[in-house]
């Protein structure tokens, strides 16, 4: 250290550390925060699901960089007044838009503990790495993968799918692709998925350097499952054209309507054709925890890799995505890279190789495993499975209510926990789009929309463990209310209703 820098050292360092001057004070503040967050979850039904952000609140987050300190209590008050009330709402049982997990108090506490340890799970020999390996082992057991399978926490399934595409690439072209690049041979690689697959698969092909045109979107049947015969034909066609099929991505729970591809048929086809079989099981893969759903996921155990999110049906707080690969060697082949400063030893802190940084693009990584470990241990898989089963039962309840209501129309078969429907009206796309926004702004519930066969659908994805029949009833009532307001019969606009009596509104 230069003398000049050293001269800046104060006599006493107590004023320079970031630790509090008074631990009793921060202890009291911390307990208050904890109590507030328990109250937030316990009384969540008293709040709107979501509310629009007032301009002055948004403007508060466009301020200048703070050079001077502020009192923690004041910063916390800002959180309580201007951040907490304007969250997405996925903690609320009325949140049904998109596939979001609800989180738990247990997960929240585990996040606090993880932050306290401030562990970096890129590698090295410390017990947090063993906790992550424990989750890898539990996930391996969950999907009946062999010994030698490997797994890693990532942000989410978008990242896990991208990594799976890269592992499949390495399996197809060999390790040397990492030095050579994909070049001409790689330019001929073709992947396959269905038209109902999540957009992140196409994005993964793009980021992976293959281009999204190298992804074939195969047609789906009425229940949104991939047409396996059409897939087989397309593979043959591509082979005849001199292309090199390498990967099939099946869906276990499509994001639109919760369809599960015929995973057994896909795995058989992939074995026959010698293709990598990856499953996007973002939320659906954890359906194996539900005895009622597990049989529908048959074939998942034959996948070469599975991407899933513990932060959706697993209710672990964000984020907790995961990738598991049947052949751990392929996984390491894709991501392990030597670096002098990451030298491995057989003892000391640099032991315990391979490290998570050998299994993905990240070096520094947080302790996502801890909240997942707490969740799995505290609740057990039977309870978590029962929650998953219940969200599907609630979807069936919503379906029944729609079928019993002549003003509503079901737009897709309910297969899992997602229900797509709409209010019958002239100009139905506009009316239903407005209804969804009206409901979101009302704070009663938060459905989202999707497009099915060119028609706009109200989409309710029931993922949150807190959701109950009263929340479903509130959604239905709100759709009918706002529907009547948006297409009033006295406007001369009479909703078209086949086989139902005219409405009194």
Instruction: Confirm if 279 and 306 have CB atoms less than 8 A apart.
Output: yes
Strands 418-423 and 455-461: antiparallel
Residues 429-468 that bind ligand PLP (CB under 6 A): none
Shortest Cβ 320–ligand PLP spacing (Å): 9
Shortest Cβ 48–ligand PLP spacing (Å): 24
Half-sphere exposure of 297 (CA within 13 A, CB side): 28
**Contacts of the segment 498-504: beta carbons below 8 A, 24+ positions apart:** 500/406, 501/406, 503/406, 503/407
- The stretches of 44-87 forming alpha helices (DSSP H) are 55-60, 72-78
Rounded to 5°, angle at Cα 370 from 386 and 346: 130
Burial class for 242, CB neighbours closer than 10 Å (0-12, 13-18, 19+): exposed
E strands, 260-366, in order: 276-280, 305-309, 321-325
For ligand PLP, the binding residue among 111, 262, 280, 409 (CB under 6 A) is: 280
Shortest Cβ 113–ligand PLP spacing (Å): 23
Shortest Cβ 71–ligand PLP spacing (Å): 36
CB nearer ligand PLP, residue 100 or residue 424: 100
Count interface residues toward ligand PLP (CB under 6 A): 13
Would residue 6 be called left, alpha or beta, if left means φ above 0 and alpha means ψ between -120 and 50 degrees?
Answer: alpha
For ligand PLP, the binding residue among 104, 139, 157, 372 (CB under 6 A) is: 157
CB nearer ligand PLP, residue 226 or residue 478: 226
CB nearer ligand PLP, residue 97 or residue 321: 321
Shortest Cβ 18–ligand PLP spacing (Å): 32
Residues 179-198 that bind ligand PLP (CB under 6 A): 198
Residues ≥6 apart with Cβ < 8 Å to 145: 139, 301, 324, 326
For ligand PLP, the binding residue among 143, 283, 421, 423 (CB under 6 A) is: 283
CB nearer ligand PLP, residue 311 or residue 331: 311
CA distance 234 to 344: 46
CA distance 446 to 458: 10
For ligand PLP, the binding residue among 149, 282, 325, 376 (CB under 6 A) is: 282
Shortest Cβ 39–ligand PLP spacing (Å): 28
Half-sphere exposure of 301 (CA within 13 A, CB side): 12
CA distance 259 to 394: 17
CA 239 to chain centre: 34
CA distance 325 to 149: 6
Candidates 116-124, 156-164, 383-391, 440-448; binding stretch for ligand PLP (CB under 6 A): 156-164
Residue 261 lies near ligand PLP (rule: CB under 6 A): no
Instruction: Confirm if 307 and 166 have CB atoms less than 8 A apart.
Output: no
Residue 308 lies near ligand PLP (rule: CB under 6 A): no
Residue 371 lies near ligand PLP (rule: CB under 6 A): no
Residue 158 lies near ligand PLP (rule: CB under 6 A): yes
Nearest residue to ligand PLP, by Cβ distance, number only: 156
CB nearer ligand PLP, residue 305 or residue 487: 305
Shortest Cβ 407–ligand PLP spacing (Å): 30
Residue 385 lies near ligand PLP (rule: CB under 6 A): no
343 DSSP 8-state letter: -
Shortest Cβ 127–ligand PLP spacing (Å): 27
Candidates 210-218, 275-283, 349-357, 447-455; binding stretch for ligand PLP (CB under 6 A): 275-283
Residue 200 lies near ligand PLP (rule: CB under 6 A): yes
CA distance 219 to 221: 7
Burial class for 491, CB neighbours closer than 10 Å (0-12, 13-18, 19+): exposed
Residue 309 lies near ligand PLP (rule: CB under 6 A): yes
Shortest Cβ 288–ligand PLP spacing (Å): 15
For ligand PLP, the binding residue among 245, 258, 321, 328 (CB under 6 A) is: 321
Residue 417 lies near ligand PLP (rule: CB under 6 A): no
List of residues contacting ligand PLP (CB under 6 A)? 99, 156-158, 198, 200, 253, 255, 280, 282-283, 309, 321
């Amino acid at each position: 250290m230069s003398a000049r820098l050293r001269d800046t050292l104060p006599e006493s360092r107590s004023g320079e550390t970031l630790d509090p001057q008074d631990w009793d004070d921060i202890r009291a503040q911390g307990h208050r925060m904890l109590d507030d967050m328990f109250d937030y979850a316990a009384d969540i039904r008293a709040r709107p699901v979501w509310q629009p952000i007032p301009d002055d609140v948004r403007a508060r987050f466009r301020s200048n960089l703070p050079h001077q300190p502020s009192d923690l209590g004041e910063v916390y008050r800002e959180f309580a007044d201007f951040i907490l009330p304007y969250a997405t709402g996925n903690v609320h049982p009325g949140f049904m838009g998109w596939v979001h997990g609800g989180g738990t108090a247990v997960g929240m506490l585990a996040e606090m503990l993880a932050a306290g340890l401030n562990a970096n799970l890129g590698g090295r020999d410390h017990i947090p790495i063993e906790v992550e390996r424990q989750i890898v082992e539990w996930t391996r057991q969950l999907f009946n993968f062999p010994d030698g399978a490997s797994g890693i926490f990532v942000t989410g399934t978008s990242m896990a799918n991208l990594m799976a595409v890269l592992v499949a690439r390495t399996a197809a072209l060999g390790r040397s692709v990492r030095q050579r690049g994909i070049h001409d041979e790689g330019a001929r690689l073709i992947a396959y998925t269905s038209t109902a697959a999540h957009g992140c698969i196409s994005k993964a092909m793009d980021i992976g350097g293959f281009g999204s045109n190298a992804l074939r979107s195969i047609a789906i049947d009425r229940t949104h499952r991939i047409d396996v015969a059409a897939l087989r034909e397309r593979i043959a066609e591509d082979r005849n054209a001199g292309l090199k099929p390498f990967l099939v991505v099946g869906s276990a729970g499509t994001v639109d309507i919760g369809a599960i591809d015929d995973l057994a048929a896909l795995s058989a086809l992939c074995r026959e054709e010698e293709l990598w079989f990856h499953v996007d099981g973002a939320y659906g893969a954890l359906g194996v925890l539900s005895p009622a759903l597990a049989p529908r996921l048959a074939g998942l155990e034959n996948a070469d890799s599975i991407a899933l999110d513990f932060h959706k049906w697993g209710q672990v707080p964000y984020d907790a995505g995961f990738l598991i690969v049947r052949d751990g060697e392929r996984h390491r082949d894709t991501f392990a890279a030597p670096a002098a400063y990451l030298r491995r030893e057989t003892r000391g802190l640099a032991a315990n190789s391979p490290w998570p940084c050998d299994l993905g693009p990240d070096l520094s990584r947080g302790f996502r495993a801890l909240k997942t470990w707490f969740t799995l241990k505290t609740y057990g898989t039977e309870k978590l499975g029962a929650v998953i089963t219940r969200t599907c039962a609630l979807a069936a309840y919503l379906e029944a209510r729609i079928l019993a209501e002549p003003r509503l129309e079901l737009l897709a078969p309910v297969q899992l926990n997602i229900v797509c429907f709409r209010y019958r009206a002239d100009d139905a796309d506009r009316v239903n789009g407005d209804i969804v926004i009206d409901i979101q702004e009302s704070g009663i519930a938060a459905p989202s929309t999707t497009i099915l066969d060119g028609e706009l659908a109200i989409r309710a994805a029931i993922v949150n463990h807190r959701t109950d029949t009263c929340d479903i009833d509130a959604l239905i009532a709100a759709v009918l209310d706002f529907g009547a307001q948006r297409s009033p019969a006295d406007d001369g606009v009479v909703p078209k209703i086949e086989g139902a009596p005219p409405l009194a509104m």
